[in-house]
Structure 1
């Protein structure tokens, strides 16, 4: 397996500045991840601020229960034992619980968390354990109910689990039927080519599904299967037992909500003033909290001294909201701006692994951390990879294609057209151009002369000329279709390159699911990922398989 660093812009200036020029964004972020002093300073602050977080023993008790059920590995138990002890820090990152674990970037995030924790432990001579935060409280079912694989006939194919999900219900609360699990298993089985790994993969999925009630549970079992041996602790943010531990944190968020709102709005104003677009919605009068009412997760706002949703299905005073919190903590959850505060109130977070978009919206939270006498943790870019299979590499070499050619769609299409033109021994394009020029050169003077005989003949002549040109273009198109058909094998090579590396016009890691690659290369491929040297910059790398 060969690994080469190749640029792939994130489109997020804040994320790129975090690593490349921290001075540009030091007003938005607390620590420079590339500076060793940041790590020791953050660890020192964690030691001094343990009182600000929920009790370690109570938290670990809940995590033990969840991991024993879905992620029962000795390495996880050892890390939980360490987390229970004062002084142990955490590297954390998270994602929604997608079907078959969702796109590849989820796997890369888990790998980054594990490697960053190991690196930090060596750097600081202190236990640092990896934690994956499953965002089971999220309610956008359409984001998690599907995944993509590349079919054998070169189609980017979506597998979607059929389920009548109640609008607004957290994913971890939505129970799936045996028929739903089996439906997607059948689709996956049809799409994956026959390999020595296929039957084992399908058995793994079916085991995770039949022993799960929700998508979050299946997600946890799969992640535990692949990463439990590395000691990756799993946390479901929607767990009821966890909510009870979070009551004091939600209480603070409610009683000091105006201060938090002010901090978010100030940060949003600063970012816009500096020309940055907002990756999260910092709204005036926004409470930045969700309340679950009759199975629907409602975003709360403040209006005339009360907390309510947009349609006023819920209207509560601050005192009433606090009473509900103590009676029914499971009804409360965070949005993207308060989730970082909750994460750091639960865990001794040394660093958090984030995608580029997440880094951008975390820039809105530093003031909110300060208002609660907290500090933003070190932000660590998720490692980014593109998998380039051996046959694909041969195709690229054959057609003299470089990475730069493929990542720019316009350049790639131009290369494709240039290659196809090179297969045209008759030089059809030039000949059709010549014919059109010659035809109009002879016909236009005639039309002009006909106009001298009768004015109406000019209009008729122009229409007639245009019809003939349309017919020439029609024949030209048919000739090109025939040329493409006669060079179908080469064009399929171009299609395979594009669809493998940039499906749907997006980086591979944002679309394809891990099962496609596990089916081709086996589970050892994940272990190979884990031993690739950690890169704190998160710069994009190509893995030549």
Structure 2
């Protein structure tokens, strides 16, 4: 396994500073993942009782067992759930929206980080540390998760997409997709994937995930279980009805203390801005930070006097009505990005949570909200980042002397410099000399023609321009013919760029993992899971 480490600066300044432990960022978080003493401090806080606002562990285990059995998770995951029943058990938790066929590569990397950290700290602490993947099935942005991208053999970024079945703005976990829709998506994937020794097995596994008019969330959960269940990854959908029932008392508190919750978030927001950072989530005095399911839609609530209402004011609830809903039909309620961390803390004994850069930035806004509910923000661990580089692409990078940093920071300049270096005939310079010399000798001759006849002079001027145009025409054609010699090289350089920075984004944010599983099987994935990789906030280049 060959892996290079690279410092790819985060696009979120706060996350970059948090990872680097700058003084401004450190003050916004109670712990840091890089300090061993902070891990022990978190363990001690949990062992001393932590928050009194805590879900019943026995009921949580029952919910996890039922859900993981339903999605067909492995025995290793079931054993981890059983371990979670113990009083000394801790959890490493992280989540993501449920994406088509697993979503982008970063989703796999988040799961790998959970498994790596749980294994590491279970060994260090000599007690169960369970990796839990929280599927944000309650999310309603279907267009964000209904497609995948892959790089085709023709060096085109292809898109496989599923259409919204109803058009209604509701959670993806509540949108069953027809067998025909799944068949079309699988056929499109089949057409996009090259024929390999792994293809039939890959498609068979994916077909198993979409049975019974599965929602995107169910299909995603089954696929993640296939990929990572053997490593003990426990899965749960945030919109699972039995989980919602367990969350009732926390929803009650989020409603009872709603004004104070908003005040706490605004206090943290002020601290973030005073530290010199922009905020990553919009918080206002009227924010309720909860969603409600009404009219077959998931609607964000805000406070309006003594009422909670949606944006269009079509649905209005008193606090008493919301409290009744929380206790009798909690499946009608849903968290937003600010209250999900609190609900996660309520449910699990969270040692650490695995987050992307954007998540690290907006979690800073929740520090005082945790404290308001007698909780403490857990350790925030940055998820592992990878770029997969195939052997042929690696050879081409060496051939053209392109480093990983070259592709990220100066690709066009390096490409042009390489092309310029190949121009041994110096065609442009030689043609420019010819045009200059011709004009210098021919123009004076044309000027003398005026003494004979102005009409002849005009004809000479036209002739001069036509000859120069013909020289430039030949120059252009010669240049095209010369560049044609390098078509193969230009295609190879473009392949390098599309591999590392497709759509001007990191590979892990664009491409789906199926193309790599199809071409290389599971060995690369096993390497990333089974070999210890430090969770340090750095980017890694893995050579396939």
* TM-score normalised according to structure 1 size: 0.92
2:185 is matched with which residue?
Answer: 184
Alignment RMSD: 3.0
After TM superposition, give the deviation of residue 337 of structure 1 in Å.
0.9
Residue 197 (structure 2) aligns with:
196
Q: Displacement, 1:481?
A: 3.8
User: Cα deviations across residues 396-431 of structure 1 (Å, max 9, x unaligned)?
Assistant: 1111111111111xx211121222233334323334
Please show how residues 414-429 of structure 1 align to structure 2 within 5 Å: 414-429=413-428
- Alignment partners' CA distance in 2, 1:447 and 1:310: 77
Say whether the 8 Å CA contact 2:51–2:375 is kept in structure 1. no
- Please give the alpha-carbon distance, in whole angstroms, between the structure 2 residues aligned to 1:43 and 1:448: 93
* SS, match of residue 225 in structure 1: helix
> Is this contact kept in 2: 1:150–1:156, CA < 8 A?
yes
Matched residue, 1:98? 99
Matched, 1:529 2:528: yes
Q: How many Å separate the matches in 1 of 2:372 and 2:445?
A: 83
- Residues 1:290 and 2:291 aligned together: yes
* Other-structure match for 1:540: 539
Cα distance in 2 for partners of 1:536, 1:309 equals 41
Matches within 5 A, 1:289-368: 289-368=290-369
Q: CA deviation at 1:328?
A: 2.4
Determine the structure 2 residue equivalent to 1:454.
none
Aligned residue in 1 for 2:259: 258
1:457 is aligned to none
In 2: Cα distance, 1:288 partner to 1:302 partner: 10
Q: Does 1:218 align with 2:224?
A: no
For structure 1, which segment, 501-510 or 432-441, has the greater mean C-alpha deviation from structure 2 after superposition? 432-441
The alpha-carbon deviation at position 68 of structure 1 amounts to 0.3
From the superposition, tell whether residues 378 and 437 of structure 1 become closer, same or farther in structure 2 (CA, over 3 Å). farther
C-alpha distance 344-432 of structure 1, shift in aligned 2 (>3 A):
farther
CA contact (8 A) 2:179 2:211 kept: yes
What is the DSSP-based 3-state SS (H/G/I as helix, E as strand, rest coil) of the residue aligned with 2:529? Answer: helix
Q: State the distance in 2 between where 1:255 and 1:304 align.
A: 15
Q: Equivalents in 1 of 2:309, 2:443: separation in Å? A: 72
Taking a change above 3 Å as real, the CA distance of residues 56 and 473 of structure 1, as seen in their structure-2 partners, is: farther
TM-score, scaled relative to structure 2: 0.92
Structure 1 gaps, min length 5 = 451-460
SS of corresponding position for 1:429: helix
| Match of residue 452 from structure 2 | none
Per-residue CA shift, 1:340-369, capped at 9, x if unaligned? 011101111000000111101101110110
Displacement of 1:319: 1.2
For 2:457, the equivalent position in structure 1 comes to none
SS in 2 for 1:52: coil
Task: Find the counterpart in structure 2 of residue 67 from structure 1.
Answer: 68
Q: Give the match for residue 453 of structure 2.
A: none
Between stretches 433-442 and 476-485, larger displacement belongs to 433-442
The aligned length equals 542
Which residue number in structure 1 is paired with residue 172 of structure 2?
A: 171
CA distance in 2, matches of 1:443, 1:342: 84
Verify the 8 A CA contact 1:301 1:310 in the aligned structure 2: yes
Which position in structure 2 is the counterpart of 1:43?
43
Return the alpha-carbon distance in structure 2 between the equivalents of residues 325 and 466 of structure 1: 83
Q: Give the alignment of 1:445-484 within 5 angstroms.
A: 478-484=477-483
Q: 1:259 to 1:486 in 2, by over 3 A?
A: same
Q: Report if aligned partners of 2:381, 2:535 keep a CA contact under 8 Å in 1.
A: yes
Matches within 5 A, 1:386-535: 386-408=387-409, 411-434=410-433, 478-535=477-534
In 1, are the aligned partners of 2:33 and 2:379 still within 8 Å (CA)?
Answer: yes
Q: Is the 8 A contact 2:76 2:229 kept in 1?
A: yes
Deviates more, 1:508-517 or 1:301-310: 301-310
Q: 1:57 to 1:393 in 2, by over 3 A?
A: same
Q: Any gaps of 5 or more consecutive residues in structure 2?
A: 450-459
2:18 counterpart residue number:
18
